[in-house]
Structure 1
Amino acid sequence: MLDSLEKMLAKGVDNPLLRFGLGKGYLDLGEFPRAAAHLQRCVELDPQYSAAWKLLGKAHQGRGDLAAARTAWERGLDAARGHGDKQAEKEMTVFLKKLDRQA
Structure 2
Amino acid sequence: MAVDLTARIAQLRQQLGGPRDGALLRYSLGSALFDSGALKEAAEMLGHAVLADPGYSAAWKLAGKVRLAMDDPAGAAHQWQQGIEAARQRGDKQAEKEMTVFLRRLTPPA
TM-score, length-scaled by structure 1: 0.92
Structure 1 segments (4+ residues) deviating >2 Å: none
Q: Which has the larger radius of gyration?
A: 2
Give the Å deviation of 1:102: 8.8
Does 2:3 correspond to 1:34?
A: no
Indicate yes or no: 2:105 matched with 1:95: no
For structure 1, the 5+ residue unaligned runs are none
Structure 2 SS opposite 1:56: helix
Match for 1:19 among 14, 20, 26? 26
TM-score, length basis structure 2: 0.87
| Matched residues, number | 101
Instruction: Using the aligned pairs only, state the percent identity.
Output: 49
Q: Give the number of the structure whose residues are more often helix, by fraction.
A: 1
